[in-house]
Every structure is written in structure tokens, then in C-alpha cells.
């Protein structure tokens, strides 16, 4: 039984962790989808490559550093290979290349999925396209993005972009011979209609990638905003603590119950506890009559013929002697040292008809 309970607890913790992870991924995805497609298609939102290579619809290509242009050449020709070799000689540690292919080389398809299936859209689309195409999975490069939303049907219209690797085989071969590494594949820049996808890396347009591509001033402004948000949370927490402290002070300033109210409350509790015991009202009358001035009963209880009385007030020091003078009480003894604000007395009731032996004569 214990082992089964432990396994159930572990399963519940794992399910909660998976749910939290899926919720966090969905939140990041929603933030990334708020960025316009034109902005997400820019290279600044991903780590820029050292070199750019653009493949045109007519089959020609150009390779250049990210900040400078180069002449057009045939990807399979010697001029293109010489251009890549020249770039490789100038390259330092970063030998990455971003390849942009025309949209005419890609397969574009629209898919409608339920809105709540968005976290699994990549896996679903990948499985569908691999089932539709006869090519091996390693030759299929694909990515997708949300194009529109159908609020009435609670559906998302996704656009999947698919590229078969054999169509860029000549460029990949030339890059490999030059010692350059293909790190990103984008679509549509040659037609000046960029598409927000990266066919080589999946969906890299997360929040971290977007922030990494922002200018320094924008990063500082975002950091300042985060600091202000954290400061607001601390200020709100401090004000809550101040409010609770003020409420405690207000409660402490309320007037305390008077001795008469405390005594009445103790008497009511005693009568409620001893409702079935005979003479309970008489005992209270006797105690109240015998107490000296300035003393009042704060608590009283009766158990097995022993009356426990708690006396408070300035005159509590004379309460024991005053109660010993009552014939109904066989013995009156203080409980404890009696130095506190409340004097506890243990009063033993005298049997019916028994003579007074509680020291009343000594008191007289």
C-alpha cells in the first residue's frame, strides 16, 4: 500500500511538472506569435550568420559576407566555388552560412488545427508531410507558422513550408568543399517577400531569440521595465505587511472587557458546564459574595467536588482568606505561587451537614 501511494504521488508530481512545462511553452509561443511575420522573418531575430548565400529562382546564386554583396554565379560552377573559397579564407571562427531559397522551390500548404493543439503542431505537421511525400525523412526540411485564426471555429490556420534537400544539393556541396557550415535556411528573400521560417532549425523565433536581436537601447528599456515590475511587486508586498500591522494595532487599541464582563462570562461558562449539577447557582452567589473588594472571578469550574476559581483584580491577595470563612467550603488552597495577574484557588466543598473546618474560626 505504501509503495503504491508513493508511485501515485510521483506520477502526480510528474504530471504537474509536465503541465507547467507545457503551459510555459505555450506562453512563450503566444508571445512570439505576437511579433509580426515581417519582423520575425528578419535575420536580426536569430543569431546572424557570418555569410549570406541567396539562391535565385533562375538557379543562380550569390554568396557574400553579411554586410557586403557579391556577383551572381552558378552554384555548380567554378566561379561560385572560387567565391566561397575566397570567403572561407577571410572567415574567422564563425564559418556559418545562411542560405535563402526562393519560395518557388518549396511546397506551401495550409493546415487547419484546433487552437489548443498548437503546442503539438510541429510534430503533427512533420508526421503528415512525411506520410505524403515519398522522399526519406532526412531529405525533408520543413517549418511552419500561424497565418490566421478562425475564432468562430476555434481553429488556427497554419502555413507549412517544405523544401526537399536534393534541390539545394549543389549549394550544400559547394559550401562543404569550402569548409563553410550551413546554419540557417530562410525562404523568400530573393523575391523580397520573406517568410518567417527557418527550414534547418525548426521554429527558432522564441522570446529569447527576439530579445537577442534587439538594439542595445531596446534591451535597456526592456530591462528597466522588468526592474520596475519587480520593484512594484516588492512595494505591494511591503504595503500589505504595513496594512496587516496597522490592523493589528487597531485591534490592540480596542477597549478591553471590564471586570464585570469577564466575571459574567466566567459565570455563564460555569453554569453551562454544570447545568446538571445541583447548587451551581448557589456556589456562584457564595463566591461572588465572599470575594473582597477589588477582586473578581475570571474563570471557574467544578470537577469531582473540587471548585477551581481564578481570581483577578487588585484585591485577589485576600481572596483565599475571604473564601475560607464560608462554611460550604471545607478547604481553600492557592494553586501555584500566586505571583501572577490571576490567583488560582482550589476550593474543596464541604459534605452536607458537616461542621466548618476551613479555618473560619482562625479568621475571626
Using alpha carbons, select from 109, 166, 170, 93 the residue that is nearest to residue 134: 166
Say if CB 168 and CB 101 are below 8 A apart. yes
What per-residue confidence (pLDDT) applies to 65? 63
Mean pLDDT (whole number) for 139-166:
92
Distance of CA 321 to the CA centre of its chain: 65
What pLDDT digit, counting tens, does each position of 154-172 carry?
899 999 999 999 999 888 8
Helices 169-178, 78-90: crossing angle, 10 deg rounding: 40
What is the dotted CATH code of the domain comprising 259-363? 3.30.1360.100
Delimit the domains of the chain by residue range.
27-219, 259-363
Q: What's the pTM?
A: 0.43
What pLDDT digit, counting tens, does each position of 34-80 carry?
655 445 444 344 556 677 888 888 777 777 665 444 444 455 556 66
> Which H helix or E strand runs over 20?
helix 2-33
Give the count of beta carbons closer than 10 Å to the beta carbon of residue 46.
21
- Sequence-distant (6+) residues with CB within 8 A of 41 are 186, 188, 194, 195, 196, 197
Alpha helices (H) along 254-351: 259-273, 280-290, 319-324
Q: Which residue has the higher pLDDT, 304 or 312?
A: 312
What per-residue confidence (pLDDT) applies to 56? 82
Q: In CATH, what is the architecture of 27-219?
A: 2-Layer Sandwich (3.30)
What pLDDT digit, counting tens, does each position of 221-263 carry?
878 888 888 888 888 877 887 788 888 888 777 766 666 666 6
Say if CB 106 and CB 187 are below 8 A apart. yes
Q: What is the DSSP letter of 135?
A: S
What per-residue confidence (pLDDT) applies to 356? 47
What per-residue confidence (pLDDT) applies to 340? 66
* Degrees, nearest 5: CA angle 280-281-282: 90
Which of 1-15, 84-98, 130-144, 184-198 is the most confident on average? 130-144
Q: What is the distance between the alpha carbons of residues 112 and 252, in angstroms, rounded to a whole number?
A: 64
What per-residue confidence (pLDDT) applies to 76? 52
What pLDDT digit, counting tens, does each position of 71-121 carry?
444 555 566 666 677 666 666 666 778 888 999 899 999 999 998 888 888
What backbone phi and psi angles, to 5 degrees, belong to 256? Answer: -80, 155
Using alpha carbons, select from 234, 233, 212, 232 the residue that is nearest to residue 222: 212
What per-residue confidence (pLDDT) applies to 333? 82
Amino acid at each position: 500500500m505504501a509503495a503504491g501511494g508513493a508511485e501515485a504521488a510521483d506520477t502526480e508530481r510528474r504530471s504537474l511538472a509536465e503541465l507547467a512545462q507545457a503551459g510555459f511553452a505555450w506562453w512563450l509561443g503566444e508571445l512570439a506569435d505576437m511579433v509580426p511575420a515581417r519582423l520575425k522573418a528578419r535575420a536580426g531575430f536569430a543569431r546572424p550568420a557570418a555569410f549570406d548565400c541567396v539562391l535565385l529562382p533562375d538557379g543562380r546564386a550569390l554568396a557574400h559576407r553579411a554586410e557586403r554583396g557579391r556577383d551572381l554565379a552558378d552554384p555548380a560552377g567554378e566561379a561560385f566555388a572560387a567565391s566561397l573559397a575566397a570567403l572561407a579564407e577571410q572567415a574567422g571562427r564563425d564559418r556559418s552560412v545562411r542560405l535563402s531559397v526562393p519560395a518557388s522551390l518549396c511546397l506551401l500548404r495550409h493546415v487547419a488545427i484546433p487552437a489548443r493543439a498548437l503546442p503539438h503542431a510541429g510534430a503533427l505537421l512533420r508526421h503528415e508531410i512525411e506520410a505524403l511525400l515519398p522522399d526519406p525523412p532526412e531529405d525533408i526540411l520543413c517549418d511552419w507558422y500561424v497565418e490566421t485564426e478562425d475564432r468562430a471555429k476555434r481553429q488556427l490556420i497554419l502555413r507549412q513550408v517544405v523544401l526537399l534537400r536534393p534541390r539545394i544539393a549543389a549549394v550544400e556541396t559547394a559550401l562543404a568543399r569550402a569548409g563553410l557550415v550551413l546554419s540557417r535556411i530562410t525562404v523568400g528573400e530573393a523575391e523580397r517577400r520573406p517568410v518567417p521560417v527557418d527550414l534547418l532549425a525548426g521554429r527558432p523565433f522564441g522570446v529569447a531569440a527576439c530579445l537577442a536581436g534587439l538594439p542595445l537601447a531596446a534591451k535597456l528599456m526592456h530591462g528597466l521595465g522588468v526592474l520596475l515590475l519587480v520593484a512594484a511587486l516588492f512595494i505591494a508586498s511591503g504595503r500589505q505587511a504595513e496594512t496587516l500591522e496597522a490592523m493589528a494595532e487597531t485591534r490592540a487599541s480596542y477597549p478591553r472587557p471590564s471586570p464585570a464582563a469577564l466575571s459574567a462570562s466566567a459565570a455563564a461558562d460555569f453554569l453551562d458546564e454544570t447545568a446538571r449539577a445541583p447548587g451551581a447557582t448557589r456556589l456562584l452567589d457564595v463566591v461572588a459574595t465572599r470575594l473582597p473588594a477589588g477582586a473578581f472571578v475570571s474563570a471557574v469550574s467544578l470537577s469531582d467536588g473540587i471548585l477551581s476559581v481564578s481570581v483577578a483584580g487588585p484585591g485577589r491577595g485576600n481572596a483565599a482568606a475571604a473564601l475560607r470563612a464560608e462554611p460550604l467550603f471545607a478547604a481553600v488552597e492557592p494553586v501555584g505561587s500566586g505571583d501572577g495577574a490571576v490567583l488560582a484557588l482550589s476550593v474543596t466543598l464541604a459534605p452536607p451537614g458537616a461542621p466548618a473546618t476551613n479555618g473560619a474560626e482562625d479568621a475571626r
